[in-house]
Amino acid sequence: MTLAREPLKPAPSRLQRLIGRWWRQQSPARQDRFATIGPLVSVLLFLAAITAAFWYLRTEEIDRATDALRRDTEVAQQQIRLHLIENQEQLVRIARELVTRDIDTAEFLGQAGAFQRERPEVRHFTWVNAQRRVRASQAVLTFHPDDDTNSTRIDPSLPAEGRRGEAEYAFLAARDTRQPVYSRPFTDASGVAVFQVQVPLLDRNSFAGTLIVEYSVEALVRFFVPTEVTRRHLISVLGPDQQVLVSTVAAMPGQPSAAPSLQYDLPLAPMSNGLTLRGQGYRTSIGLIGNTLFWMVVALSVLTVWMLLGTWRHMRRRAQIQNALVQETNFRRAMENSMLTGMRAMDKDGRVTYVNPAFCAMTGFAETDLIGRHPPFPYWPPDRIEENSRLLQQELQGRSPVGGIEVKVMRKDGSIFDARMYVSPLIDPKGQQTGWMTSMTNITEAKRIRDQLSASHERFTTVLEGLDAAVSVLSVQQSEQLFSNRSYRLWFGADARGHGLLANSSSGAPYRPEPDEEVDSFSGMPTQPLTESGAQPREVYIESLQMWFDVRARYLQWTDGRLAQMLIATDITARRRVEEQAQQQAEKAQVTSRLITMGEMASSVAHELNQPLTAINNYCNGMISRVRNETIATDDLIAALQKTGRQAERAGQIIHRIRAFVKRSEPQRQPAHARDIVEDAVELAGIELRRRKVAIHTYVAQHLPNLHVDPILIEQVLMNLLKNAAEAIDNAHLPVTRRHIELRVIPRHTPEEGGVIEFSVTDMGPGMKEEVLARLYEAFFSTKADGLGIGLSLCRSIIESHRGRIRAQNLYNGDLVTGCRFAFTLPVDLTQRAEPQPVPDVPDAAAASNPNASAS
């Protein structure tokens, strides 16, 4: 009896052993995941293979349709190209015969007609000479309506010099290249899309014109594109701007045509004139999405995937719960390790159960040194064990303050730092308290900064309290006094009313909102521009204190964000008193200067008054004598009395001028005309000028703007300058030709002063030395033996008080001094409109005594 032997199993290959070893190395969860993903991947690979097969078949069919479209388009291009080349050769032959044989118009028309009958695409055949005049033309019969516009219509098919057109461009190209030229497509007079070929006529290498043959693009496509091509595909011709000129298929009116899925373009050679032959086709196969078999495969695959996903989701749910637990644990541990705040947990007996790495880093102790320790803890300073024990008992009893407690902590190396601890209870999942959690923060740096800020605030307050000026800060919205220093409290007390007085309010009370104001009027104000604006100083007089203050105010943002106003008031009472005394002395000096001037002019004034008084005396004696003799008529008596009255009026005017000039009055600035000031000054100075036989020439510009000045003071300056000039001329004993003064008043505009009016006094005297010019305006400096030296110094003070400038200079003719010129400027009053004034003749002060004087 023989036993049947079992067949031997083949030994596993090396790849199988590697796969088995890798599978055994995986965890059970990963093996389950791979077992689920395997069938899912197989179904997806099967679906991808079916989709790729359908896609390949569809792409192959599209390639075949594209090749067929390309072949048909190339066939149409070759048909048109060969026909055009044949026509071009025939035209070259006809052009050669035209220049070599004497062909008349009739014979040319016969050849053109024969050429055109065999070629229906030719619209017209034209012979043009070098001057663009038509010698002969053969055209197809087309209907043109007889109207007035056709008689004047410009034919675009013929070249014309100076006209922009495709026919003209082709004519010029044929003339320049001496070769047949194809024009770019255009629309002829009938609205048909055409292009031309122009063959040059060369007679012994000289240009004699062109033969113009015009082709219809539509006829070329209709007659020379094979019928089998147009049945399969749409053939169209495009212009240079890619606009369709001719197509083998016309679109239905009002209906959009479907976009072709296949397209192939070729240039319409041999013209190279921008025409493009385009072939278009449509795919006949259905798309991948519309295939029924494809969707059946997709539906079965989706069903299989859905079942596999359901199994996988159930397995993942258990794995997700495990991962969530691990992630939560890792997150809490990472958060605790990354915190800068130290965390310490204790049970109810005060035993440390947990510390985080930040707590260990703060104290310098390791986790093993702290876990399980009971008080006293190693980070307690030896001198504070009793205090820390009391705080710990308070913590275990749940009586720790909400704001935390500040303690001293000792590091392992013995250094001490300040810390703040916050305590909260530890609650287990059942709601029972198991201990206490303490968070500790190092506040050493914060405490140091706080101490520095306190010291800085104390220093700042000490400085403000020591100021002699009053400093106060008032809230704009609530009118609340936010700060006041010692000087403010000394003068105004702690009330905000003093702030209102310094701010120059009408009632002296700070701003308070009305009861019905529900909206803060300052809430929308731009705080930054207000706080950045500079302080404008003002001088305020406080009646109750009898004191003057220099007040500077500005807006600032208070520490709590509120808009506030700060005032700095400096006591300037002593300075104001000094200024008032100086002003009084200046006024007295001005009056004294005028009295001195009149005293110096006393003899001239007496002489000036003597003339009208002598005339009055003579008139009265004459009238008395003639009345006694009864030899005077009534009319003569009246005339003599009128002359006597005029002389008395003249004497009164002189006295009135002198009295108005020297009387003491308060300085009063008012709008004044420059001409009026000049008239008064010249009339008064004329007394002295006539005595010294000095002429004066005046010029005052018309339409001058008004001045805002004290007229008496400006008149005093002019009087002083005119008198000094007359004295310089008289003391130098100059001849009559140089005994005159020029007074000019003109407007000027300079970058430094702006718009001003300039007064200038120019004399022909000996001038002044340079050292005198340097000390000219010094007080009590004078070149006169009996002078006091206050005249020019006072003049400068008066002009500068009116915001003007005064200057003096010598006049030269080469190196020779020929005179001196004083000039001063006054700013114009822009608030007053300049009024046109009459131009009276300014009196010439020396006209009576100097016959050579004249007024300009």
Q: What is the pLDDT of residue 420?
A: 87
Task: Using alpha carbons, select from 317, 320, 323, 356 the residue that is nearest to residue 338.
Answer: 356
Is 433 buried (19+), middle (13-18) or exposed (0-12) by CB count in 10 A? exposed
In the numeric block, the tokens 């809230």 are attached to 475
Spell out where 707-739 has E strands: 707-709
- How far apart (Å, rounded) are the C-alpha atoms in residues 660 and 683? 13
The upper half-sphere exposure of residue 196, i.e. CA atoms within 13 Å in the direction of its Cβ, equals 28
Is the preceding peptide bond at 376 cis, omega within 30 degrees of 0?
Answer: yes
What 3-state DSSP class applies to 850? coil
How far lies 730's CA from each of 404, 742, 818, 852, in Å?
100, 15, 15, 16
Q: Averaged in consecutive runs of 10 residues, what is the pLDDT profile of the chain (856 residues)?
A: 52 77 76 72 79 80 84 86 88 86 82 85 88 85 45 76 85 89 87 89 86 88 86 85 82 70 79 80 63 75 78 76 82 77 86 88 88 88 87 80 84 88 85 86 85 85 82 84 85 82 55 44 50 67 85 84 86 80 66 60 56 68 75 76 70 63 61 89 81 90 89 83 87 86 91 88 85 67 53 78 87 86 85 47 39 32
H-state helical runs in 349-437: 357-363, 367-370, 385-396
How far lies 722's CA from each of 601, 772, 787, 796, 823, in Å?
13, 18, 16, 15, 12
The upper half-sphere exposure of residue 392, i.e. CA atoms within 13 Å in the direction of its Cβ, equals 20
Check if the beta carbon of residue 792 is closer than 8 Å to that of residue 761.
no
Is 73 buried (19+), middle (13-18) or exposed (0-12) by CB count in 10 A? buried
Check if the beta carbon of residue 344 is closer than 8 Å to that of residue 437.
yes
What 3-state DSSP class applies to 851? coil
Where does residue 96 fall: left (phi above 0), alpha (psi -120 to 50 degrees), or beta otherwise? Answer: alpha
| Number of Cβ atoms within 10 Å of the Cβ of 836 | 8
b/e 31-69 (16+ beta carbons within 10 angstroms → b): ebbeebeeebeebeeebeebeeebeeebeeeeeebbeeb
What is the 8-class DSSP label of residue 765? S
- How far apart (Å, rounded) are the C-alpha atoms in residues 497 and 510? 6
Check if the beta carbon of residue 534 is closer than 8 Å to that of residue 510.
no
Structure tokens at 32: 């389950």
- How far apart (Å, rounded) are the C-alpha atoms in residues 621 and 48? 149
- In sequence order, the 6+-apart residues with CB closer than 8 A to the CB of 301 are 43, 44, 46, 47
Task: Using alpha carbons, select from 142, 135, 132, 138 the residue that is nearest to residue 109.
Answer: 138
Q: What is the pLDDT of residue 747?
A: 92
The upper half-sphere exposure of residue 829, i.e. CA atoms within 13 Å in the direction of its Cβ, equals 17
Check if the beta carbon of residue 481 is closer than 8 Å to that of residue 503.
no
Greatest alpha-carbon span in the chain = 213
What 3-state DSSP class applies to 707? strand
Number of helices (H) and strands (E), helices first, in the chain?
A: 22, 27
- How far apart (Å, rounded) are the C-alpha atoms in residues 433 and 345? 12
Q: Which helix (H) or strand (E) holds 813?
A: strand 805-813
In the numeric block, the tokens 């702290």 are attached to 370
- In sequence order, the 6+-apart residues with CB closer than 8 A to the CB of 156 are 165, 166, 167, 186, 187, 188, 189
- How far apart (Å, rounded) are the C-alpha atoms in residues 410 and 444? 13
Structure tokens at 492: 């105004």
Q: What is the pLDDT of residue 821?
A: 92
pTM of the shown model:
0.35
Q: Which long-range contacts (CB under 8 A, 24 or more apart) does 164-171 make?
A: 166/195, 166/196, 167/196, 167/198, 167/212, 170/196, 170/198, 171/128, 171/132, 171/198, 171/210
Is the preceding peptide bond at 270 cis, omega within 30 degrees of 0?
Answer: yes
Check if the beta carbon of residue 346 is closer than 8 Å to that of residue 353.
yes
Q: What is the pLDDT of residue 113?
A: 86
How far lies 772's CA from each of 277, 527, 776, 781, in Å?
104, 58, 6, 9
Check if the beta carbon of residue 571 is closer than 8 Å to that of residue 539.
no
Q: What is the pLDDT of residue 529?
A: 57
How far lies 247's CA from each of 185, 221, 234, 250, 379, in Å?
15, 8, 7, 7, 98
- In sequence order, the 6+-apart residues with CB closer than 8 A to the CB of 104 are none
In the numeric block, the tokens 């005309």 are attached to 673
Task: Using alpha carbons, select from 793, 654, 820 the residue that is nearest to residue 738.
Answer: 820
Task: Using alpha carbons, select from 793, 728, 735, 813 the residue that is nearest to residue 767.
Answer: 728
Which DSSP string do the residues of 631-699 spell out, in sequence order? ---HHHHHHHHHHHHHHHHHHHHHHHHHHHHHS------EEE-HHHHHHHHHHHHHHHHHHTT-EEEEE
Q: Which helix (H) or strand (E) holds 244?
A: strand 244-247
Beta partners for residue 134, in sequence order: 128
* Rg for the chain, CA atoms, rounded: 60
What is the 8-class DSSP label of residue 431? S
- How far apart (Å, rounded) are the C-alpha atoms in residues 603 and 342? 107
Check if the beta carbon of residue 653 is closer than 8 Å to that of residue 694.
no
- In sequence order, the 6+-apart residues with CB closer than 8 A to the CB of 74 are 266
